Amino acid sequence: MKHKFVINGKIFTKKYISGVQRYTLEILSALDKLIDKDEIEICTPMSATNIPKYKNFKIVKYSKLREIPWEQIAFPHYLKKNHAISINLGNVSPWIEPGIVCIHDVNCIKNPKNFQMQMVIWYRFLFKRAMKKGRKIITVSDFSKKEMLDCYNVNPDKIVVINNSWEHFDRIKENDEVFEKFPVLKEKPFFFSIGTITKHKNLKWVLKVAKNNPEYIFAISGFVNIEKFKKSLDLEKPDNVVFLGYLSDEEVKAIYKRTEALLFPSLYEGFGLPPIEALSSGAKVVVADIECMHEIFENEVTYINPYEYNFNFEDIVVAKNREKILNKYSWKKSAEKLLLVSRSIGKFS
């Protein structure tokens, strides 16, 4: 029997867009232009409200369950009833029948001390099952694939690399009103960071470097509870550090256009979207000297020792061949690869 494919649409219940959600949205947008009418379905909870308008996807709202109960009970029930294989682009998949699963990285498996134990247990449970029973595993970089092979006894051919990309930032028009909202950004030259209090994001580096460089402003966006931030890092916030909270894409692009550089000292990434978004916007980029960043950015960014805090900002390089990096990645190419994977599985199911 030839199976049809159904995309896990839990993402459409989310209010804010993370890197994982961005990947899903952009892959689907590109995939919609490649498939035949109703060739692939998107199944969402009944509560989903943020569903884009697609030309060729068939949208099915199913069940009043939400979050994990929807994903682990209602969605698998729909798959079984329709003899379908799931496509899951956001790390998590149904335990009963994982289908095609995109696992962006295995950071919580490699570095469990950096995460809440319940999260580590949950992902260990799901990732192990996906590796064993999933039809195909997708990940976003060669580095991430290598890390998975180090963690799991799985045939390398089962893991397919389908990269992130950056073209969504070409569609975004910068909103300079962010500088009226945060006039401090007009007072001095500033550096920009995006992150959370999660240890691997290494915002400790930004705070320590900021303390050593009072002549600059260091702006940090993202969902950061300042009190939790100080407690988790055991550091006081220097006066020249400003937390911007959640910013729209339009505001972020305006900041990329005027910042001295994006600072991205993360200790572990599967890919890392902000640096390539910043590069596409013309910003200078500073990243941690880790394997994944070298794979993605080659010699077009500045690499720092993420444990060394005496950094000379005059050493930041300008990308000499930015287009070489950008041309390696395309949402269309990634969608084509996903379609090829799914059609090859469907042919033999």
Tell me: do 182 and 156 sit in the same domain: no
Tell me: do 84 and 227 sit in the same domain: no
**Looking at residue 348, what is its pLDDT?**
44
**Looking at residue 349, what is its pLDDT?**
46
Tell me: do 188 and 124 sit in the same domain: no
Adjacent-strand bridge partners of 242:
219
**Looking at residue 199, what is its pLDDT?**
82
Helix (H, G, I), strand (E, B) or coil at 286: strand
**Looking at residue 122, what is its pLDDT?**
93
Does the pTM surpass 0.85? The reply is yes
**Looking at residue 236, what is its pLDDT?**
76
> Could you tell me which residues come within 8 angstroms of residue 171 by beta carbon, excluding any fewer than 6 positions away?
none
Tell me: do 174 and 126 sit in the same domain: no
**Cα distances (angstroms) measured from residue 7 to each of 18, 47, 145:** 18, 16, 22
Tell me: do 46 and 114 sit in the same domain: yes
**Looking at residue 314, what is its pLDDT?**
86
Mean pLDDT split into 10-residue runs, the chain, 349 residues = 83 82 95 94 93 95 94 96 94 94 96 91 95 96 98 96 96 95 95 84 91 94 67 74 92 96 96 95 96 96 94 87 95 97 72
Tell me: do 142 and 239 sit in the same domain: no
Tell me: do 147 and 121 sit in the same domain: yes
Tell me: do 20 and 120 sit in the same domain: yes
Count up the domains in the chain and report the number: 2
Q: The CATH number of the domain where 295 resides is what?
A: 3.40.50.2000
pLDDT tens track for 16-66: 778 889 999 999 999 999 999 989 999 999 999 889 999 999 999 999 999
Structure letter (DSSP) for residue 277: H
**Looking at residue 219, what is its pLDDT?**
96
C-beta atoms surrounding 53 within 10 Å? 7
pLDDT tens track for 233-249: 666 788 999 999 889 99
> Could you tell me which residues come within 8 angstroms of residue 61 by beta carbon, excluding any fewer than 6 positions away?
43, 44, 45, 46, 48
Closest by CA to 167, choosing from 299, 33, 16, 302, is 33
Tell me: do 196 and 320 sit in the same domain: yes
Tell me: do 175 and 159 sit in the same domain: no
From CA 288, how far away is CA 290, in angstroms rounded?
6
Closest by CA to 40, choosing from 3, 9, 71, 4, is 4
- Which tokens sit at 227? 């009190």
Closest by CA to 316, choosing from 239, 248, 243, 264, is 264
Phi, psi values for residue 307, rounded to 5°: -115, 5
Tell me: do 129 and 242 sit in the same domain: no
Judge contact between 41 and 121, C-beta under 8 A: no
Structural domain range at position 118: 4-165+330-348
Tell me: do 322 and 334 sit in the same domain: no
**Looking at residue 3, what is its pLDDT?**
67
